[in-house]
């Protein structure tokens, strides 16, 4: 039997597919964002422990500077400089680490910030392929002195293969483990 076309689905069937679409999006977003949060925390700890072994100063550095004032991208940049200078064996064993972390940032931004396409074409894409579709907006700023207006335009959509999230999660978990294992530890206390 041929698979029904999306346009041939009843309203009830379309509602079921819409609910499944939302569930898939929530699952992908939740899994990726949760994993990235763990990765970001390991980066925070690596940076913090690099600069101090003192627990009080470490907590202050984390709570006053790193966590609230540095973007995820900035943290990755600092991490890569420290690793390249002081833990170069990590880079030698993971040559694509910088590129992979940049990719994680880009994918995280799509998952976290792009709205889900719930239009009929977005639902149809999910029905036919199992892929999520996110809208990408472009903020177009124009010169207000010349009387031009600021606009936000829909530029295109990004089709996101749900299986791609598994590869992304594997990459996130890989680097989370690598960075966690490399966190500098305090020297043993001397008596």
Q: Tell me: the pLDDT tens digits for 23-64?
A: 999 999 999 999 999 999 999 999 999 998 888 998 999 999
What pLDDT is stored for residue 189 in this prediction? 45
* Nearest Cα residue to 159 out of 121, 185, 106, 190: 121
Q: Which domain holds residue 96?
A: 15-114+163-182
What pLDDT is stored for residue 80 in this prediction? 97
The confidence band for 144, taking pLDDT boundaries of 50, 70 and 90, is low
Q: Does residue 78 form part of some domain?
A: yes
Does pTM top 0.95 for this prediction?
no
Q: Does residue 1 form part of some domain?
A: no
Quick count: other Cβ atoms within 10 Å of Cβ 30? 11
Report how many domains make up the chain.
1
Q: Does residue 79 form part of some domain?
A: yes
**Is residue 170's pLDDT more than 90?**
yes
Average pLDDT over every residue of 138-146: 60
What pLDDT is stored for residue 163 in this prediction? 78
Q: Does residue 58 form part of some domain?
A: yes
Model confidence pLDDT, tens digit, residues 65-79: 999 999 999 999 999
Tokens of 181: 């294992």
Contact (Cβ atoms closer than 8 angstroms) between residue 58 and residue 162: no
């Amino acid at each position: 039997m041929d698979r029904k076309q999306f346009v041939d689905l009843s309203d009830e069937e379309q509602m079921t597919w819409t609910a499944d679409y939302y569930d898939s999006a929530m699952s992908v977003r939740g899994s990726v964002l949760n994993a990235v949060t763990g990765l970001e925390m390991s980066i925070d700890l690596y940076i913090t422990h690099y600069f101090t072994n003192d627990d009080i100063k470490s907590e202050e550095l984390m709570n006053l500077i790193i966590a609230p004032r540095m973007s995820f991208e900035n943290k990755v940049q600092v991490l890569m400089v420290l690793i390249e200078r002081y833990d170069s064996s990590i880079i030698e064993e993971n040559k694509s680490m910088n590129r992979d972390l940049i990719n994680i940032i880009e994918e995280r931004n799509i998952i976290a910030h792009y709205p889900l396409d719930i239009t009929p074409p977005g639902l149809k894409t999910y029905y036919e392929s199992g892929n999520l579709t996110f809208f990408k907006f472009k903020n177009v700023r124009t010169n207000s002195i010349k009387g031009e207006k600021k606009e936000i335009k829909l530029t295109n959509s990004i089709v996101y293969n749900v299986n791609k999230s598994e590869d992304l999660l594997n990459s996130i978990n890989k680097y989370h483990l690598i960075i966690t294992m490399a966190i500098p530890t305090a020297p043993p206390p001397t008596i």
